[in-house]
Structure 1
Amino acid sequence: MAISLLSKSITGVLGLGTATVGAVYFGRDLIGNKAKISIEELIDTSNPDKRFISASSDTYWREAWKAYIEDNKSNEKDVWNVAGWTSGTTVTNNENAPSEFIQACDNKRSQKVLDKNDSLYSQVVKYCTRDTVVRDLINETEGRSLLVKNGDFATDSHWRAAWKLYRDDNPDGSDKWNISNYTSIKSQENAQEAFAKMCEEKSQVKEHDLTKSTYLDVLKYCTKVG
């Protein structure tokens, strides 16, 4: 009986050890199988200060292409194997990015990585994105759209309403945006050129935080419903 009890005890200890090892192994397996996320989704959550460059943004693409060339000019092969790339290539600010490079960026949006420490993620952020600006936030704000300055904007009801709101918030002695000649034009009912110009400038300011006045002021003074 003593031998039988001893055998059961040893078996139990060995079984416990096996279970422990299994648990540790299983835990490592879980960590090793951490769910991946697409680069596009990760940028939305981890880098809200960045937006993908659109196909029509030639200036941004030129800057991105130049950065890519500079980072790879000493290599025998570029990191993305872009068609037409050759070692030692130099590029100017006026040189358009080739369609192959733009396509490479587009293809990598859906590729999945573990987290923002992945080298591919860092490359995409560097070569395929630009800074988020107020205009982006406005475009993503449901129910609002930026006022557009056209030929007859001054008498447009939306522009006039926006201009009145700004004047009401900035009476004598105040001018939040330091609009040119504000003291001499603030009595005008029609929207003024200087005000419309300021709306355009403010919409291009870098910003990604929806709680900042940089965004909230443009939302208030330079947008309409719709």
Structure 2
Amino acid sequence: MHSLAAKGIAGFVGSAALSGVTLWSIKASRATEEPKSISKLLGEKRPDKRLLFNGYQGKTDGSQEAWRFAWKKYVGDHSGLAKNPFSLTINSSLVNAPAEFMNACKNLFGEKVLNQESEKYSLAFEYCTRDALVSDWIWVKGKQLVNSNSGNWGNLWNKYQSANKYKWNAAEVDSQDKFKSKCTSEYSAPAGADNDVSVLRILEYCSEDRPANSR
């Protein structure tokens, strides 16, 4: 046999064997995966997201911006189709997320799946999540935004002025009132991780311990 042909056959056999090993490894890895609830899997894989629940921000009418956005996306993706994954009546005139849509999300959260490739996981991620906010990260640390009527804002403003880290643009925060306003607005801003500078800043200058009965 010609040496080049022999090398070609050997290379093909080697590649085929390697592909077989790789495929086997993938199958073996998937076989050992333990089913997890969608809520747990999303918490592990996407800490920058939060599940949307009915009652978020103390409202149950679906009027929250995050719920409205999710519903609008769902309607846009499935309007005019014969079927939709949640088997809902698509009413594009509804601005607030209907209870049926919010309940469909809730029912998904406890479903157990193997990984992020699951269709149910994808549905939950696509239509039933929101961005994590600074307030979420502050909350899990046992803190909350200082009450707007607290007399401690003056002390916090003095602390901020004398500090040299996690500072806002000086022109944006040149008075106690502006400082307080900045704390309030940034508390509700998106933050992908607990080491985001916004989280560290609010934690350092704008937070207080949560009441014991809220922990």
TM-score norm. by structure 2 comes to: 0.73
Which position in structure 1 is the counterpart of 2:7?
Answer: none
RMSD: 2.5
Separation of aligned partners in 1, 2:156 and 2:145? 11
Which position in structure 2 is the counterpart of 1:168?
Answer: 162
SS of 1:96's equivalent in the other structure is coil
**Residues 173 and 179, structure 2, Cα contact 8 Å, conserved in 1:** no
Shift of 1:29: 8.1
Equivalent positions of 1:108-147 (< 5 A) are 108-142=108-142, 144-147=143-146
- The 10-residue stretch of structure 1 (54-63 or 112-121) with the greater mean CA deviation from structure 2: 54-63
The one-letter code sitting in structure 2 at the alignment partner of 1:80 is F
**Residues 39 and 110, structure 2, Cα contact 8 Å, conserved in 1:** yes
SS of 1:81's equivalent in the other structure is coil
**Residues 162 and 221, structure 1, Cα contact 8 Å, conserved in 2:** yes
Verify: 1:64 aligned to 2:70, yes or no.
yes
**Residues 179 and 198, structure 1, Cα contact 8 Å, conserved in 2:** no
The one-letter code sitting in structure 2 at the alignment partner of 1:132 is A
Separation of aligned partners in 2, 1:149 and 1:209? 25
The one-letter code sitting in structure 2 at the alignment partner of 1:76 is A
The one-letter code sitting in structure 2 at the alignment partner of 1:71 is D
Shift of 1:225: 3.1
Which position in structure 1 is the counterpart of 2:14?
Answer: none
Separation of aligned partners in 1, 2:181 and 2:106? 33
SS of 1:76's equivalent in the other structure is coil
Which position in structure 2 is the counterpart of 1:90?
Answer: 92
Separation of aligned partners in 1, 2:133 and 2:195? 14
Shift of 1:176: 3.0
Shift of 1:35: 1.5
Which position in structure 2 is the counterpart of 1:43?
Answer: 42
**Residues 36 and 115, structure 1, Cα contact 8 Å, conserved in 2:** yes
Identity of aligned residues (%): 28
**Residues 135 and 144, structure 2, Cα contact 8 Å, conserved in 1:** no
Q: Residues 221 and 72 from structure 1, CA distance in 2 versus in 1: closer, same or farther, beyond 3 angstroms?
A: same
The one-letter code sitting in structure 1 at the alignment partner of 2:160 is Y
Shift of 1:125: 1.2
Separation of aligned partners in 2, 1:63 and 1:81? 19
Verify: 1:218 aligned to 2:202, yes or no.
yes
Separation of aligned partners in 2, 1:122 and 1:28? 21
**Residues 69 and 91, structure 1, Cα contact 8 Å, conserved in 2:** no
Shift of 1:129: 0.9
**Runs of 5+ in structure 1 lacking a partner?**
1-24, 186-191
Verify: 1:202 aligned to 2:194, yes or no.
no
SS of 1:139's equivalent in the other structure is helix
Separation of aligned partners in 1, 2:30 and 2:104? 30
Separation of aligned partners in 2, 1:109 and 1:176? 38
**Residues 203 and 218, structure 1, Cα contact 8 Å, conserved in 2:** yes
Which position in structure 2 is the counterpart of 1:76?
Answer: 82
